[in-house]
Amino acid sequence: MICVVDDDEVIRELLTAVFESSGFVVSSFESGDDFLSHGFDGQPLCVLLDVLMPGRSGLDVLKTLNGRGLSAPVVMISGSADIPMAVDAIRHGALDFFEKPFDPETIVDRVRAALDASAARESAGAQIEEDVEDIPGAEALTPREREVLGLISGGQSNKEAGRQLGISPRTIEVHRARIMEKLGAKNAADLVRIVMSAAEGR
């Protein structure tokens, strides 16, 4: 099930139509409170979440979902997005961030890519954990940041890493910046040096 949470009826109907035509089951909600109070039989496959809504904001809903242990990818959507808002959403676990107006087919493709990549991530997860566990400061990284670090330290470009994780290169850039901040890397070359030093130590 794909859940669409947006106070804009037109957006809800548009996303519902495009996902249903692609074979997904869709439930839509006009507020974060309606969504959070809904009793699901199982966990949603993916959540599309508007940032600015009456009542709880999309970011508040995202934080609540994190507290509930939701593992489904969350895609944030906003009509008045800015970089700090996008960084905040990704920091709290959002898979990706789209600004209105958007191409609904692009969102469907991104969600499909994320779902297809999840199985590959699970199989590669143990190796990625092993690769980054000895890096000083790695314990401060989120699970997604550890995945990104594992890929970029393996030589993958932002585009390649984004394709494997089912997210945009811009989102990879945000994660990379957060990783560098947490690990104390001054630049990309410094990040490579930190990773290589940890590998030599192993």
* Distance between CA atoms of residues 34 and 32, nearest Å: 5
- Residue ranges and CATH numbers for the domains of the chain are 2-102 (3.40.50.2300), 119-201 (1.10.10.10)
64 CB-near residues (< 8 Å, 6+ apart): 32, 36, 56
Label residue 15 by pLDDT band (50, 70, 90): very high
Question: What number is the average pLDDT over the span 124-142?
Answer: 67
Q: Is 25 exposed, middle or buried (0-12, 13-18, 19+ CB in 10 A)?
A: exposed
Report the range of poorest mean pLDDT among 15-19, 84-88, 108-112, 127-131. Answer: 127-131
Query: What's the rounded mean pLDDT across residues 112-126?
Result: 62
Name the residue with tokens 């939701």: 70
Question: Which of 73, 69, 97 is closest to 84 using CA atoms?
Answer: 97
Q: Rounded mean pLDDT of 195-201? A: 70
> Sorting pLDDT into bands at 50, 70 and 90, what band is 128?
low
| pLDDT(103) > 80 | yes
The pLDDT-based confidence of 70 (bands split at 50, 70, 90) is confident
- Of 136, 174, 119, 137, the closest CA to residue 152 belongs to 174
Say what percent of the chain tops pLDDT 90. 20
Instruction: Report yes or no: 1 and 25 within 8 Å, Cβ to Cβ.
Output: yes
CA–CA gap between residue 76 and residue 59 (Å, rounded): 9
How far apart, in whole angstroms, are the C-alpha atoms of residue 101 and residue 4?
Answer: 16
**Is 83 or 78 the better-scoring residue by pLDDT?**
78
> Is the pLDDT reported for residue 126 higher than 50?
no
Q: Is the pLDDT of residue 150 over 90?
A: no
Q: How confident is the model at residue 130 (pLDDT cuts 50, 70, 90)?
A: low
- Residue 2's SS3 state is strand
CA–CA distance, 113 with 119 (Å, rounded to integer)? 11
